[in-house]
Amino acid sequence: MSSIPRHLDPKFPQPQKQPSRDSLRSLARSHMSTASDGFEEDFQRLPSSPARLDIELPEAALDLTMDFNSILAVAEGAPKDAQSVAEMDKVQKRASNVMRLAEQNEKLKAELRAMTERLEAAERRQRELAQAQAQKSGGGAQRQASGESAH
């Protein structure tokens, strides 16, 4: 261990003295005084919030519900030729197939859960029966051993 006090040892640098708040404020004031005074004038002229516009909008009973066909029609510019109708039919068939497959998937998952539960219950019953049989045969052997020693 070195005999140099820690605060004098160059291996342990000491934190620099932080400037006080007053010196920072005076530094900021001197910096602001050298900045252009046009900024302060412009800043004072700016409104604190934008002026509100009083516009009366007419009330309308708009139906904003849309179905898939209307979205496709708007996106494609509503062409009514045979090709676009065929594409719409394909998209609708795909959508219905996806929905049907999703429903089947959910049904199969539910069946799998039920089968798994039944299998686990059957395995539990087999273990319980095996344990009961082992205890029964183990208990009989103990009775025979105790009966032989009594003779």
Average pLDDT over residues 130-145: 77
Average pLDDT, the chain: 75
| Cα–Cα dist 100/131, whole Å | 47
68 or 36, which is more confident: 68
Neighbours of 72 (CB within 10 A): 15
- Look-up of token digits 């160059």: 10
- Least confident piece of the model among 27-31, 81-85, 100-104, 111-115: 27-31
Average pLDDT over residues 40-56: 65
Torsion angle of C-alpha atoms 14, 20, 25, 30, degrees rounded to 10: -60
